[in-house]
Homo-oligomer: A and B are copies of this chain.
């Protein structure tokens, strides 16, 4: 009996870890985030219990994990991205520890770098950015993020967010001192076949991203230009070959 808090990666099933796949193939039960790719869930044994956490509060998820653990089951709690990066895995771990249920944490590929990488954007690049600040598009109390703090970090900014907040967030970053011309990219459906990428300056990014689907990731900073240069060089090379 162990509950494994497992990162499923950003979406692409190929970005699951070897350990995650092994655990899925031998588990008794899976409690899966709604954003986890259905292909991944086909890996579990036929007689395993598969539960979606859709509609459950975090407290209900914690209780469910404790209950399944108490029944002596091997449980995979499959979480989008990485369980300990905006994944609230710490809360689930504390609930399990308090109940005396053994648990492990199996890190996953976080969207923070994998999604920009899928758009050929490195979040750090020599001479361009050697610091990255990650945050969400809303503070925990529902307030706006601390834009001054995000901008003061001085490096690449990566924000997990709903697209409906993009205009407000871009305005907040500009008010906090980022120039209107700062390069920005929005990646929707990152690493999946339906992935869409738009690039614009911060002043124009909300308009450019209209029509994309949530959830999305916003990348702000000069590394976006490295991604654009890479994409152009790749396309040019491809034309020469063709």
- A interface list, Cβ under 8 A from B: 7, 9-10, 12-19, 21-22, 82-91, 93-94, 97-103, 105-110, 112-114, 116-118, 120-127, 130-136, 139-140, 145-146, 149-150, 152-155, 191, 223, 226, 229-230, 233-234, 237-238, 240-241
Whether B134 lies near A132 (C-beta < 8 A) is yes
With A18-B17, A127-B140 already in contact, the answer to whether A94 and B233 are too (CB < 8 A) is: yes
With A101-B237, A113-B110, A230-B90 already in contact, the answer to whether A84 and B132 are too (CB < 8 A) is: no
Closest 4 A-B residue pairs measured CB to CB? A152-B152, A97-B233, A14-B19, A90-B122
If over half of A's interface residues share one DSSP class (helix, strand or loop), that class is named, otherwise mixed; here it is mixed
The number of times this chain is found in the oligomer is 2
> Which of B98, B112, B139, B223 is A130 in contact with, Cβ under 8 Å?
B139
Whether A230 lies near B94 (C-beta < 8 A) is yes
Excluding A14-B19, A90-B223, 15 further A-B contacts by CB distance (< 8 Å) are: A12-B19, A14-B22, A17-B109, A82-B117, A83-B122, A84-B117, A84-B121, A85-B122, A85-B123, A90-B126, A93-B122, A100-B241, A102-B238, A110-B112, A130-B139
